[in-house]
Chain A
Amino acid sequence: MKVSHYTVHSPRTISEALNILKDGAARPIAGGTDVMVQIKDDLVKETELLNLSYIMDLNYIRDDGDFIRVGALTTYSDLIRSRLVNEYSPVLVEAARTVGAVQIQNRGTLAGNVGNASPAGDGLPPLFATGAKVKLQSEASEREVDIGDYFLGVRKTVRQPNELITEVSVRKMKPGDYYFFKKIGLRSANAISLVSVAAVLVPAEVLTFKEARIAMGAVAPTVIRAKSAEAAILNCQLTDEKMKEVGRLASEEAHPITDIRATAEYRKQAIAGAVYEGLYEIVNGFRSPVNGSSV
Chain B
Amino acid sequence: MEIEVSFVLNGKRVTVKAPPAKSLLRVLREDLDITSPKPGCEAGECGACTVLLDGKAVTSCLVMISQVQDREIWTDEGLVKDGQLDPIQKAIAEEGGSQCGYCTPGFVMSAKALLNSNPHPTEKEIVESISGNICRCGAYPRLVQAIKKVANE
- The residues of A with any CB-CB pair to B shorter than 8 Å are 3-4, 6-8, 10, 29, 31-33, 36-37, 39-40, 49, 51, 53-54, 77, 100-104, 106-107, 188-190
**What's the nearest-Cβ distance from chain A to residue B124, in Å?**
12
Known contacts: A32-B64, A32-B67, A107-B62. The answer to whether A102 contacts B43 by CB under 8 A is: no
Extra 18 A-B pairs, beta carbons < 8 Å, given A8-B66, A77-B56, A106-B58: A3-B19, A4-B19, A10-B67, A33-B44, A33-B62, A36-B62, A36-B63, A40-B42, A49-B21, A49-B66, A102-B57, A102-B110, A102-B131, A103-B47, A104-B44, A104-B59, A104-B132, A190-B132
User: A37-B43, A103-B50, A103-B58 known; A6 and B20 CB under 8 Å?
Assistant: yes
Q: B113: which A residues are within 8 A, CB to CB?
A: 102
Taking a contact as CB atoms under 8 Å apart, the answer to whether A189 and B58 are in contact is no
**Cβ-closest chain B residue relative to A189:** B131
**How many residues on the B side are at the interface (Cβ–Cβ under 8 A)?**
34
Closest chain B residue to A38 by CB distance?
Answer: B43
**Bound Cα distance A13, B22 (Å):** 23
- Alpha-carbon separation in the docked complex, A4 to B20 (Å): 7
List residues of chain B with CB under 8 Å of any chain A CB.
1-3, 19-23, 26, 42-45, 47, 50, 53, 56-59, 61-64, 66-67, 69, 110, 113, 128-129, 131-133
- Interfacial chain B residues near A51, Cβ < 8 Å: 64, 66-67
Give complex CA distance A126, B1 in Å: 41
CA distance A6 to B43 in the complex (A): 18
Let me know if B20 and A102 touch, CB within 8 A: no
The 6 closest A-B pairs by CB, nearest first: A101-B132, A189-B131, A8-B20, A6-B21, A4-B19, A8-B66
Bound form: Cα–Cα A116–B74 in Å:
30
Contact A6 B19 (CB under 8 A): yes
**Residue of A at shortest CB range from B43?**
A37
Give Cα A270–Cα B19 distance, bound, in whole angstroms.
Answer: 45
Complex CA gap A47/B36 in Å reads: 31
Report the minimal beta-carbon distance from A70 to chain B, rounded to whole angstroms: 19
Instruction: Check if A103 sits within 8 Å of B21, measured CB to CB.
Output: no
Q: Are A8 and B21 in contact (CB under 8 A)?
A: yes
Q: Evaluate contact between A8 and B3: CB separation under 8 angstroms.
A: yes
Distance (whole angstroms) from the CB of A293 to the closest CB of chain B: 27
CB atoms of A106 and B56 under 8 A apart: yes
Known: A3-B19, A36-B44, A51-B64. A102 touches B69 (CB 8 A): no
- Closest Cβ of chain B to A206, distance in Å, is 32
In the bound complex, what is the Cα–Cα distance between A8 and B67 (angstroms)? Answer: 10
Q: Which residues of chain B have C-beta atoms less than 8 A from A190's C-beta?
A: 44-45, 131-132
Chain B neighbourhood of A32, CB < 8 A: 62-64, 67
